[in-house]
């Protein structure tokens, strides 16, 4: 089965609705192909005699109010007819009904980007590293504050993104840069006792990658505007 034209849509200008043109070519019977063909035929029948046009996705920006795997998620993305940019919104009233795509004039604008770490997991993970002994709460607090300070100085545009969060399309995951990691190691010497530093260093080394507790969560806020 070959997938093509994944970024194209057919639009009805009279009704301001869209139908994705995910063309599926297959020499065998295929449920996905049948669903697409029927949806395409239904769209043409419903909008026969209307002002139809070919649209295409514009850029890769995508906003969603739920995880993308959630069938009830409402998604927004930019489309264009080659002359103007529009914001398309896809939603469904119930699980039993197909998602309907509507479009209107506007753009999806980036209104801010934040970089975060998971404070709770980071604190819990470092505390667990010392089990059955316990770190003083004040040291954990200072450690988390230092991590926040270092991360707060990073430029999100310079971070190499490793992957996107499957549960939140607005969040990407990145590895802590080497310079920031080395600064964190040095600052830990100001917080922890010499007898604790080997354990802290091991914890940081084991968790510095994009799948560790020092992973950076890059959240981009998008807003639809006219």
> Residues 57, 135: one domain?
no
Instruction: List all residues 6 or more positions away from 139 whose beta carbon is below 8 Å from its beta carbon.
Output: 191, 192
Residue 109 backbone dihedrals phi, psi, to 5 degrees: -105, 140
Q: CA 201 to CA 130: how far, in whole Å?
A: 12
Reported as a single tens digit per residue, the pLDDT across 97-119 is 889 999 999 999 888 899 999 99
> Residues 34, 77: one domain?
yes
Q: What is the pLDDT of residue 115?
A: 94
> Residues 94, 27: one domain?
yes
Residue 221 backbone dihedrals phi, psi, to 5 degrees: -95, 125
> Residues 92, 116: one domain?
no
> Residues 75, 120: one domain?
no
Q: String of b and e for 127-153 (b: at least 16 CB within 10 Å)?
A: bebeeeeebeeebbebbbebbeebbee
> Residues 161, 144: one domain?
yes
> Residues 220, 116: one domain?
yes
> Residues 26, 59: one domain?
yes
Reported as a single tens digit per residue, the pLDDT across 166-190 is 888 789 999 999 999 999 999 999 9
Q: CA 95 to CA 153: how far, in whole Å?
A: 43
Instruction: List all residues 6 or more positions away from 6 whose beta carbon is below 8 Å from its beta carbon.
Output: 22
- Domain end position, chosen among 105, 124, 156: 105
> Residues 137, 47: one domain?
no
Q: What is the pLDDT of residue 215?
A: 95
Residue ranges making up the domain that contains 19: 2-105
> Residues 134, 218: one domain?
yes
Q: What is the pLDDT of residue 109?
A: 87
**3-state secondary structure string, 116-148?**
ECCHHHHHHHHHHHCCCCCCCHHHHHHHHHHHH
Reported as a single tens digit per residue, the pLDDT across 116-130 is 999 999 999 999 999
- Domain end position, chosen among 65, 82, 105: 105
Nearest to 142 by CA among 193, 67, 72: 193
- Work out how many domains the chain is built from and give that number: 2
> Residues 173, 207: one domain?
yes
Q: Are 159 and 176 in contact (CB under 8 A)?
A: no
């Amino acid at each position: 089965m070959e997938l093509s034209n994944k970024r194209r849509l057919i639009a009805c200008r009279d009704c301001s609705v869209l139908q994705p043109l995910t063309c599926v070519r297959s020499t065998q019977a295929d449920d996905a192909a049948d669903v697409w063909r029927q949806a395409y035929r239904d769209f043409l029948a419903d909008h026969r005699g209307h002002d139809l046009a070919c649209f295409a996705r514009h850029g890769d920006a995508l906003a969603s109010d739920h995880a993308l795997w959630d069938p009830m998620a409402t998604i927004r993305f930019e489309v264009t007819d080659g002359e103007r940019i529009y914001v398309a919104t896809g939603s469904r009233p119930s699980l039993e009904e197909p998602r309907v795509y509507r479009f209107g004039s506007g753009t999806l604008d980036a209104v801010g980007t934040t970089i975060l770490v998971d404070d709770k997991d980071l604190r819990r993970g470092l505390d667990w590293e010392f089990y059955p002994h316990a770190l003083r709460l004040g040291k954990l607090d200072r450690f988390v504050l230092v991590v926040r300070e270092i991360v707060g100085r990073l430029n999100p545009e310079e971070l190499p993104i490793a992957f996107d969060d499957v549960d939140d399309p607005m969040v990407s995951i990145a590895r802590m840069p080497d310079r920031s990691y080395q600064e964190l190691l040095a600052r830990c010497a100001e917080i922890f006792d010499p007898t604790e530093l080997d354990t802290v260093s091991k914890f940081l080394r084991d968790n510095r990658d994009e799948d560790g507790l020092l992973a950076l969560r890059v959240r981009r806020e998008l807003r639809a505007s006219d």
